[in-house]
């Protein structure tokens, strides 16, 4: 699937938002119905979501901070992610002691919420975007 086309034509922010929501839906499906066939379907949904985010995150970041500053920002993101992972281990052990699929359901819900939040709150200064809503008249897009 040429999801890079979606990121380039529709916008990197929208591609990341779609991908994160699909990943969350995959997790929710897997956590809700732990049957082998359904887990395969959930992994398919997760994989499609990952293709929407793969590369679009980094391209969106490079658009926002500039190519010369992207490397330190990516490094800092990995550092914060590793620290959050250490904290998450303790949290996951506590939640798994209550119910094993609770982790997957909570994670899926958080992914869907993150996808929704990124579509509302995050700006996209440098990437491709649709024209401003004020440019739309009578259901047609006026020339850019």
Give the Cα separation of 122 and 133 in Å (integer): 17
Three-state SS letters, the chain: CCHHHHHHHCCHHHHHHHHHHHHHHHHHHHHHCCCHHHHHHHHHHHHHHHHHHCCHHHHHHHHHHCCCCHHHHHHHHHHHHHHHHHHHHHHHHHHHHHCCCHHHHHHHHHHHHHHHHHHHHCCCCCCCCCCCHHHEECCEECCC
Give the Cα separation of 34 and 105 in Å (integer): 11
Is the model's pLDDT at 140 over the cut of 70?
no
Tens-place pLDDT, residues 110-124: 999 999 887 777 766
Which residue ranges make up each domain of the chain? 3-124
Tens-place pLDDT, residues 6-62: 788 888 888 899 999 999 999 999 999 999 999 999 999 999 999 998 888 888 888
Give the Cα separation of 58 and 86 in Å (integer): 24
């Amino acid at each position: 699937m040429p999801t890079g086309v979606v990121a380039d034509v529709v916008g990197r922010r929208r591609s990341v938002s779609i991908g994160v929501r699909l990943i969350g839906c995959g997790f929710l499906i897997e956590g809700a119905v732990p049957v082998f066939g359904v887990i395969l379907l959930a992994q398919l949904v997760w994989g499609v979501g990952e293709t929407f985010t793969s590369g679009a995150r980094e391209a969106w970041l490079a658009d926002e901070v500039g190519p010369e500053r992207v490397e330190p920002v990516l490094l800092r993101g990995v550092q914060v992610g590793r620290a959050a992972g250490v904290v998450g281990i303790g949290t996951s052990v506590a939640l798994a002691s209550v119910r094993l699929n609770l982790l997957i359901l909570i994670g899926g819900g958080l992914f869907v919420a993150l996808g929704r939040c990124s579509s509302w709150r995050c700006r996209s200064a440098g990437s491709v975007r649709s024209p401003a809503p004020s440019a739309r008249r009578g259901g047609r897009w006026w020339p850019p």
